[in-house]
């Protein structure tokens, strides 16, 4: 989880960084966060009222101080009714998170694998020759090189779906 959070925190796209962190902090459905509007935030009570959920009922979500901090930071510069607007068209809410999620997972996976007992040194040596690549490009290149040399690639984080955030959040909060 620390690799995932660190990867989210350093992402260059502020909107994606904020929405993924918000999802991690609240455990809400992706679509609810994507369609979040400023008018639905109840600042006085640190709550967010989702007027229309998947089951058709309204839902009120308590917001942590970190979630409120993200929202206040976005609110101070907001030019849209959407909390997470599209970059090129602020009249519409953000839609596609897949490319950004993949980039975050590649970066998190690379950080995880750097700690691998068997591959850590091999990766460090290769990284010195590939310093011009971004971390997500570096992940893909290192994996390609490992496959070419028939080096077994350890389990990484690439199979984590955005929906898994909600599922795991609910398991943790129900304990």
Q: Within a domain: residue 22?
A: yes
Q: Within a domain: residue 84?
A: yes
Q: Within a domain: residue 68?
A: yes
Q: What is the pLDDT of residues 44-54, one digit of tens each?
A: 999 999 998 88
The reported pLDDT for the residue numbered 10 is 95
Q: What is the pLDDT of residues 160-175, one digit of tens each?
A: 888 887 666 543 443 3
Radius of gyration of the chain (CA): 19
- The model carries a pTM of 0.86
Q: Within a domain: residue 144?
A: no
Our count of domains for the chain comes to 1
Q: Within a domain: residue 43?
A: yes
Query: What are the E-state strand segments in the chain?
Result: 41-42, 47-50, 59-62
CATH number of the domain where residue 61 is located: 1.10.443.10
Average pLDDT on 124-147 reads 91
CA 169: distance to chain centroid? 14
For residue 46, what are the domain limits?
Answer: 13-95
Q: Within a domain: residue 40?
A: yes
Q: What is the pLDDT of residues 34-46, one digit of tens each?
A: 999 999 999 999 9
Q: Within a domain: residue 75?
A: yes
What's the Cα-to-Cα distance from 53 to each of 59, 119, 123, 139, 166, rounded to whole Å? 7, 44, 45, 37, 14
**Contact predicate 97/86, CB 8 Å:** no
Closest CA to 46 of 67, 28, 31: 67
Range 131-162 burial, b when 16+ CB lie within 10 A, else e: eeeebbebbeebbeebeeeeeeeeebbeebeb
The reported pLDDT for the residue numbered 171 is 39
Q: What are phi and psi of 49, to 5 degrees?
A: -100, 115
């Amino acid at each position: 989880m620390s690799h995932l959070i660190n990867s989210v925190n350093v992402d260059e796209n502020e909107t994606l960084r904020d929405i993924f962190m918000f999802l991690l902090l609240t455990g809400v459905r992706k679509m609810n966060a994507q369609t979040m509007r400023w008018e639905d935030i109840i600042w006085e009570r640190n709550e967010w009222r989702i007027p229309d959920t998947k089951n058709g009922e309204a839902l009120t979500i308590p917001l942590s101080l970190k979630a409120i901090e993200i929202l206040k930071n976005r609110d101070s510069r907001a030019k849209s009714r959407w909390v997470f607007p599209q970059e090129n068209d602020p009249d519409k809410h953000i839609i596609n998170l897949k490319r950004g999620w993949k980039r975050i997972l590649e970066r998190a996976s690379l950080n995880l694998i750097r700690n691998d007992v068997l591959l850590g040194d091999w990766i460090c040596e290769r990284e010195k020759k590939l310093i011009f690549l971004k971390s997500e490009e570096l992940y893909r290149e290192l994996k390609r090189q490992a496959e070419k040399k028939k080096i077994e690639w350890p389990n990484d984080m690439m199979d984590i779906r955005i929906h898994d955030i909600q599922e795991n959040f609910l398991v943790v909060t129900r304990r």
